[in-house]
Amino acid sequence: MKISVLGGGPAGLYFAISMKLRDSSHDITIFERNRADDTFGWGVVLSDDTMSSLGANDPVSDRMIRENFAYWDDVKVVRGEKSMTSSGHGFAGIGRKVLLLLLQERAQQVGVTLSYETEISAERIEKLRTECDLVVAADGLNSQTRRLYAEAFKPEIDERLNHFVWLGTHQKFDDAFTFIFEQTQHGWIWAHAYQFDNDTATFIVECSPQVFEAYGFAELSQPESIALCEKIFAKHLGGHSLMTNANHIRGSAWIQFPRVTCENWYFNNVVLLGDASATAHFSIGSGSKLGMESAIMLADQLCSGAPLETALHTYQEERKLQVLRITSAARNSTEWFEELGRYLNLDMMQFTYALLTRSQRISHENLRERDPKWLAAAETWFQGQAGNASSRAPMFAPFKLRDMELSNRVVVSPMAQYKAKDGNPTDWHFVHYAERAKGGAGLVFTEMLCVSPEGRITPGCPCIGASQVADWSRLVNFTHTETDAKICAQIGHAGRKGSTRLAWDGIDQPLPEVDAWPLLSASAIPLMDGNVVPKAMDRADMDMVTQQFVEAVHAADSAGFDMIEMHGAHGYLLASFISPVTNKRNDEYGGSLENRMRYPLEVFNAMRAAWPENKPMTVRISAHDWMGIDGTTPDDAVAISALFKEAGADAINVSSGQTDKAEQPVYGRMFQVPFADRVRQEVGLPTLVAGNIYEPDHINSILMAGRADLVLLARPHLADPYWTLHAAVELGDTEQSWPAPYEGGRRQANTIAERKRSMGI
């Protein structure tokens, strides 16, 4: 193949090397606008995993790179006068200039043609496209090729909030990758520092837009800006200066990180590589690492024997998914630093843990593998904060709301069963909830218990009122007598989402007209075309439904429930008032968020007044309607939670979505945790969270980082009623109690698990 590579950075060079190693007959030329030894960064970070891939691909360049590495195993966090170090992280740094020179040398060894100080215009790119079999655009985050064929590549560039400047120093940071957080007169400013050769370290300074503006960095020259950074970080620099190699840039050299994504990575015979196709924030590692790994896969596909179109398509589909995992982690890390103000008041132990796990790539058990001593200290700290003299994992820490004391932080999430008869719970409900109470969770939620027959979602949904007290009492009494679990009644009204079929008969589909019942909602908007059109509630309707909620609360108290939750999420009746998607009223209950919250707060206050003072009450909210600015947003969720806190809510159960069928949710592992985290930190109220959480690792990471206080699992508890007991076995926790009749099972499960661990299974 005749191949032109646009851009002589690490990705372009390594691709050319990889192609030549697979077939030396390829005619490959690299075109670079700068001189061979020009570079505008400092160090490049490469992980152990990346180096393993490079070693398998080309042992020669791998050896050349390793001989110039600066290694570190520790991450050190310095905040003001306090510092904390954890180990086992396994990274290495190399100077970007050295890396480029080594890759240039290797490229020449294998026969790649290098053309420097060569400007490539749009016309030249188009000409190369017609002359070559393949054009590889490795021309960086400001890729001219990507701009030229923007209609084909469909790029999106998201300029992030924080400002940063890439500096170097001869101060030694050779003992750890160091994060330094300094509080100044204008707010917090921080540095990412790491050694990359014997006498030079990268020193990236970052701050929020507010601090950037307050210091006037945009108006300062580079020398003035550097001098100010030297003053801020003087005690960490040991008399050494900060240096820039960005003199070619006009102005201060501070930038905001551009997050680049592209819908397509190739067009005809042009393919994007490295930062041209996708960027990963510097806080999780190196774009060079990502680009070099992509270069290996691209070379593999091009040399697979498949037609060019097939090879490029396979490369795009497979590598794009791998890069998405990294860029998603990078997004999490980026946003953590953008929201740093939430976390700076955390205890140093929790702050360090939150920083280490910010991207979600490093999990709780992964930290145990890296530094078991440090993690054990963190777990002991967490248990101590919970008033427990223990070193068990965070999920097994006790928790208290008012007079309700939970033995652990695992919660069985509300899950509709659709097995009620005429609004009454059946033996199915007793067995379902009793089994999960026996399974070790600290708290068990009922599904939404409806305040009236007209408030049901389906004919199979249960109610709670005077006539259901006996059935619910039987369940509560069993739970209290036979298990350590507490039990919560989630109380709600379906609103416009009512009068629908059982889930397995067509979820949200309307009942036959003969079986349907009238509905109420904030506005007369049906759930879907063909569903019952609800009546927009008038004052009499509001008073009637409020009284139904109060009667439900009295019934829950009579049944002995430990806690109640008002369901104000997912488009049900109370949520229909809160969301602007479903509330189109023009009276005092519509319009502004304050007005839309008026009726839900009326109901909350009436419920709280009817519920015993010593028992807790929570509220479930939809923190995001997933409908852009037209719906409830995470910003709104903070204001909504603050209003419920003021009214006396003990915690907020943070959920999202299910408001309207036009939603466009973004799912992923623990996808609702950021909403709960924000509410917890900004409102100062405990939070509960669910949403694609299914491993002990997830729970422990969420709790230890202070992102929520209780963690709800739904589907895992459908698959395994004894999920918590089995999780304890998996973690080697022998303190977890089992029901007395199951003691033999506990001993055997722990023995088998210990045997597997000893065998390395």
pLDDT over 80 (residue 2)? yes
Name the more confident of 668 and 536: 536
Least confident of 286-295, 367-376, 443-452, 491-500: 286-295
CA distance 67 to 63: 6
DSSP string, 203-264: EEEEE-HHHHHHHTGGGS-HHHHHHHHHHHTHHHHTTPPEE-S-TTSSTT--EEEEEEEES-
pLDDT, residue 690, reads 98
Domain assignments of the chain as residue spans, ordered by start: 2-339, 363-757
Of 605 and 328, the structure prediction assigns the larger pLDDT to: 605
Cβ count near 654 (within 10 Å):
31
| Predicted local confidence at residue 727, as pLDDT | 98
According to the model, what pLDDT value does residue 35 have? 84
The pLDDT of residue 248 is: 66
Q: Are strands 134-137 and 2-6 parallel, antiparallel or unpaired?
A: parallel
Fold agreement (2-339, 363-757): no
For residue 246, what are its two tokens?
């960005």
Q: How confident is the model at residue 547 (pLDDT cuts 50, 70, 90)?
A: very high
Catalytic site includes residue 572: yes
Do 289 and 96 touch, CB atoms closer than 8 A? no
- Cα–Cα dist 370/72, whole Å: 13
Q: Among 37-41, 125-129, 365-369, whose mean pLDDT is lowest?
A: 37-41
> Cβ neighbours of residue 706 under 8 Å, at least 6 residues apart?
343, 346, 350, 354, 677, 680, 681
Out of 3.30.420.40, 3.20.20.70, 3.20.20.120, 1.20.140.10, select the CATH number for domain 363-757: 3.20.20.70
Q: Report the percentage of the chain scoring pLDDT > 90.
A: 90
Whether residue 428 contacts residue 435, with contact meaning beta carbons closer than 8 Å, is answered with: no
pLDDT per position as a tens digit, 228-242: 999 999 999 999 999
Most confident of 138-142, 282-286, 652-656: 652-656
pLDDT at site 650: 98
> What pLDDT score does 473 carry?
98
Per the residue annotation, which of 194, 572, 599, 722 is the catalytic one? 572
Q: Is the pLDDT confidence value at 40 over 80? A: no
Phi, psi of 490 (to 5 degrees): -85, 125
With a cut of 80, say whether residue 619 has pLDDT above it.
yes
Element (H, E) at 373: helix 372-385
Beta bridge partners of 130: none
Interval 2-16 mean pLDDT: 97
* pLDDT value of residue 251: 72
Residue-wise pLDDT for 409-432, tens only, equals 999 999 999 999 999 999 999 999
Q: What is the CATH number that goes with domain 2-339?
A: 3.50.50.60
Q: Residues with Cβ < 8 Å from 391, sequence gap 6 or more?
A: 376, 379, 380, 383
* Residue 716, H or E segment: helix 715-719
Query: What's this model's pTM, rounded to 2 decimal places?
Result: 0.92
Band of the pLDDT at 34, cuts 50, 70, 90? Answer: confident
Q: How far apart are CA 43 and CA 202, in angstroms?
A: 6
Mean pLDDT value across residues 434-445: 98
Q: For position 646, what pLDDT does the model report?
A: 98
